[in-house]
Amino acid sequence: MTVAEAKAFIRKAETVGIAEVDIGLLLDALTVLTSLPIQDAEFAARATDLVKEARGRGLVSEEQEAAQREESLSLQRDFLRSEKVEDEDLEATAFVQSALMARLNEAASAVGVGPDELETLIAAATSFVDQVASSEFPPPPGTPTTVEQYLEAQIEAWEAQAIAARGAPIGVPQGQPDPEHPGRRVGGFVAQRVEREPTDFVERKFGVGPHIVTAVEPRYFDGDQYTPAGLDPGVIARLQLRLVNTGFLEEGEYWAGFWDGQTADAYAAVLGHANQSGATIDETIERLIATLPDSIKEARARADQAKTFQAPPFIGPDLATIAQRVKSKLRSELGREPSDVDMAELTKFMSSIYVEDFDAQVAAQRSAFDASQESLETGEPVTPRSVTDVDPVARFNEFFEQRFRPEIDRLGALGGIQINRSNVFASLRTMGNLIGGGR
């Protein structure tokens, strides 16, 4: 793994969160960033923070960390032996040169300068310094007289170019340009991160220890909110779900698996919180999830209820009303009072009809609700499914006629006999009138 690859890996790891990071590659990146001659303090610290976070989650074992440290030391020893460092002065010089080369590599990577161009630059620096040294005239003020000075000047120029091209830090003040160092800024926001560092068994056991305050400059800049766009759709979907759990993204407002505008805006808000606290993006997401305000939880609960059909409560009919209707029906149709058996059977049936009628109404409401929800999701009109209606009056009349058919027929026959008798009597009276009239 090269320095540029290690830095790119750390940037992406901070973006996607430790849960999605390949731990083996993370340890490789830490080794590269903490080894000579490519030592880089800033990225080494960022890589170390990620490893500490992974250890806290049980993703890294002590054996893995020990192996990583041994590999880093081995690389450092190999470098020093290759440079034939034999005393403290030469060792110190090697460290200075390695730090300079690390800065040069980082600055070159930031502006897109590759290894071949770097080799050309170093050769040009050597040639320039040789020309200055061999000149008969003193160089103008500010002219580099060593390779280190030449490279320092190039580093500052590249850093200025990179900073000028880089967006503003997300969620925090940017600071003002530094007149003494073109391209750099002063007075910008720097997070003060406070941690407790346990130092012995008692402190570890009881959770106490000295406070350590670390100044952390912003990690995330305008444009970083689009970094995850190239990730696997499954990874994006999981990250979107975590953003939903932070409260900055709402279900139904984004395309799962695609890094759309709503997702990028939510992610930018979280990156701003990370810059303000000095934490990594993964730490910030976990903290936001753990401290989600109750107001958001309640609003989401209400929204979930609105998406779920809520059937109205069933209000049973008044038994006294049912009893009166049964009595009235028998009196009007059969001309008698109902027996106890009649009352029990008819009131039970009428009560069941009310329940069936209620169920039919609820089914119709549910069908209309489901169609409305589907229409909202698809953007197309949806016809509710049909539901069979229940007419309590017709159902009861039909049951009454079937139950009391013999009695109704008998009463109908008696009514016909009475009508015939009345007709006979009427005919006799008519005949009597006619006969009497003849007298």
Report residue 426's pLDDT band, with 50, 70 and 90 as the boundaries. Answer: low
Instruction: Answer yes or no: are the C-beta atoms of 285 and 242 closer than 8 Å.
Output: yes
Contacts with 96 (C-beta within 8 Å, 6 or more apart), sequence order: none
Give the range with max mean pLDDT: 7-21, 184-198, 301-315, 350-364.
350-364
Give the range with max mean pLDDT: 46-60, 78-92, 170-184, 217-231.
217-231
Identify the three-state secondary structure at position 377. Answer: helix
CA distances (Å), origin 196, targets 48, 56, 143, 208, 280: 17, 14, 48, 7, 17
Rounded CA gap, 426 and 437, in Å?
A: 16
Helices (H) and strands (E) in the chain, counts: 16, 4
The pLDDT of residue 91 is: 42
> pLDDT, tens digit, for every residue of 394-408?
888 888 888 888 888
Rounded CA gap, 150 and 33, in Å?
A: 24
The pLDDT of residue 95 is: 43
The closest alpha carbon to 20, from 355, 282, 263, belongs to 282
**Beta carbons within 10 angstroms of residue 127's beta carbon:** 12
Using a CB cutoff of 8 Å and minimum separation of 24, what contacts does 37-41 make? Answer: 37/79, 37/94, 37/97, 37/98, 37/101, 37/102, 38/3, 38/98, 38/101, 38/102, 38/105, 39/95, 39/98, 39/99, 39/102, 40/3, 40/7, 40/102, 40/106
The pLDDT of residue 20 is: 74
The pLDDT of residue 437 is: 47
| Chain mean position to CA 329 | 63
Q: Which residue has the tokens 């960022």?
A: 46
| Chain mean position to CA 299 | 16
Give the range with max mean pLDDT: 122-126, 174-178, 185-189, 223-227.
223-227
> pLDDT, tens digit, for every residue of 55-94?
666 676 666 666 666 665 555 555 444 444 444 444 444 4
> pLDDT, tens digit, for every residue of 231-277?
888 889 999 999 999 999 988 889 989 999 999 999 999 999 999 98
**Beta carbons within 10 angstroms of residue 343's beta carbon:** 16
- If you average pLDDT over every residue of the chain, what do you get? 76
Residue 304 Ramachandran class (φ > 0 left, ψ -120 to 50 alpha, else beta): alpha
> How many residues can be counted in the chain?
439
Look up residue 340 and give its amino acid.
D
Whether 439 has a pLDDT exceeding 60, the answer reads: no
The pLDDT of residue 129 is: 83
Residues 6, 10, 15, 16, CA torsion sign: positive
Is it true that the peptide bond before 37 is cis, omega within 30 degrees of 0? yes
> pLDDT, tens digit, for every residue of 319-334?
888 888 888 888 888 8
Instruction: Answer yes or no: are the C-beta atoms of 105 and 127 closer than 8 Å.
Output: no
Report residue 41's pLDDT band, with 50, 70 and 90 as the boundaries. Answer: low
Mean pLDDT across 22-31: 76
Identify the three-state secondary structure at position 212. Answer: strand
